[in-house]
Amino acid sequence: MSQSKQTNRQIVLASRPHGAPTADNFRLEQQPIPTAKAGELLLRTVYLSLDPYMRGRMSDAESYADPVALGAVMLGATVSRVEHSQHPDYSVGDWVLAYSGWQDYALSDGTGLTKLGKTPSHPSYALGILGMPGFTGYMGLLDIGQPKAGETVVVAAATGPVGATVGQVAKLKGCRAIGIAGGAEKCQMAVAEFGFDLCLNHHAVDFVEQLRAACPDGIDVYYENVGGKVFDAVLPLLNTKARMPVCGLISQYNATALPDGPDRLSLLTRTILTKRLKVQGFIIFDDYGARYPEFYQEMSGWLAAGKIKTREQIVQGLEQAPEAFIGLLTGKNIGKLVIQLADA
């Protein structure tokens, strides 16, 4: 793969989706590569992270962060190399974690960059197990879920970068880890590769019965990142004083209306009261940004010791990002989804 030395390819938000995004919501544009001025550096993107939260930023509905403007570059975390530098703290060739978005090149004044060194062994890990998804799984489980040895922890999207982290950390803390995933292949991976005690296919016609049988002593921690029918199956199994960290609701991101059927809000609130549940949503860097060094130190140690494993799905080419992202929202990815724009 190669990147032009004259042209900056960018994928911008062409229109806001109604329901599931389509290719028409994105547009590939070409612009001249910007020039770094005094105090700036030019970053060349090597890896781009694709994550479910991006669907929310495509909408102009009120949320915790501003939406992507129409015609603006799609946002996203990147692992980049310094192409040119007029900044005293960075040299050509340095690897950095940045937020350059869906484009080949971007200018930076150094704000918000994280140095990854000259020769990181797995630079793309900064977008996954050592980045936002791993950090989300780690802090949500340990700080909000507070698992205790012998308890049952359930997590959906068990082979995604967040779910796989949750399951493995739960096992390290002495818990029974039950995963939920979409398909037999993913469930097999959750057990064989990530060490879950059991993984259930939510597409199974008897999924509700399978989950009940898998949790004879109830559920102590449910790590919520999916919502929908999975949460419906989990709710009656939650034990008294169960904890539920909420970091995402991917099953609902493309919804345009409330689901059909009776209003179950009163059921939820009654269950929260009578079972004294702890339900807490969080935005990882807003709520836990100061604790990233703590996470990085422990997770790096676990990785080096082989106690934590990770899986990446690397798709080649910036132009493939829209299709890959659309697939991500319907569960077509296996592991952390990363776009590789160019060779290092």
**CB 81, CB 46: distance < 8 Å:** yes
Across 30-34, 60-64, 185-189, least confident range: 60-64
List own/partner pairs for 312-318 with CB under 8 A and 24 or more apart: 312/124, 312/128, 312/336, 312/338, 313/337, 313/338, 314/47, 314/124, 314/338, 314/339, 314/340, 315/339, 315/340, 316/1, 316/340, 317/1, 317/341, 318/9, 318/11, 318/28, 318/48, 318/102, 318/103, 318/104
For the segment 161-170, the average pLDDT, to the nearest whole number, is 97
Task: Give, in order, the Cα–Cα distances in Å from 37 to each of 41, 91, 108, 324.
Answer: 7, 14, 10, 34
Q: pLDDT at position 239, please?
A: 98
Per-residue pLDDT tens over the stretch 112-132: 999 998 999 999 999 999 999
Domains and CATH numbers, the chain: 7-128+310-340 (3.90.180.10), 132-285 (3.40.50.720)
The b/e string for 111-135 (b: 16+ C-beta within 10 A; e otherwise) is eebeebeeebeebbbbbbbbbbbbb
Q: pLDDT at position 254, please?
A: 65
Confidence check: pLDDT of 102 > 80: yes
For the segment 141-154, the average pLDDT, to the nearest whole number, is 98
Q: Tell me how far apart the alpha carbons of residues 57 and 51 are, in angstroms, rounded to a whole number.
A: 11
Share of the chain above pLDDT 70, in %: 97
For the segment 65-79, the average pLDDT, to the nearest whole number, is 95
Q: pLDDT at position 1, please?
A: 56
What is the model's pTM? 0.90
For residue 180 the two structure tokens come to: 């939920």
Confidence check: pLDDT of 263 > 80: no
Share of the chain above pLDDT 90, in %: 83
Q: Tell me how far apart the alpha carbons of residues 149 and 172 are, in angstroms, rounded to a whole number.
A: 9
Banded model confidence at residue 95, pLDDT cuts 50, 70, 90: very high
Q: pLDDT at position 107, please?
A: 97
| Pairing outcome for strands 312-316 and 105-108 | unpaired
Strand order in the sheet with 152-156: 198-201, 176-181, 152-156, 219-223, 238-246, 278-281
Chain-wide mean pLDDT for the chain?
93
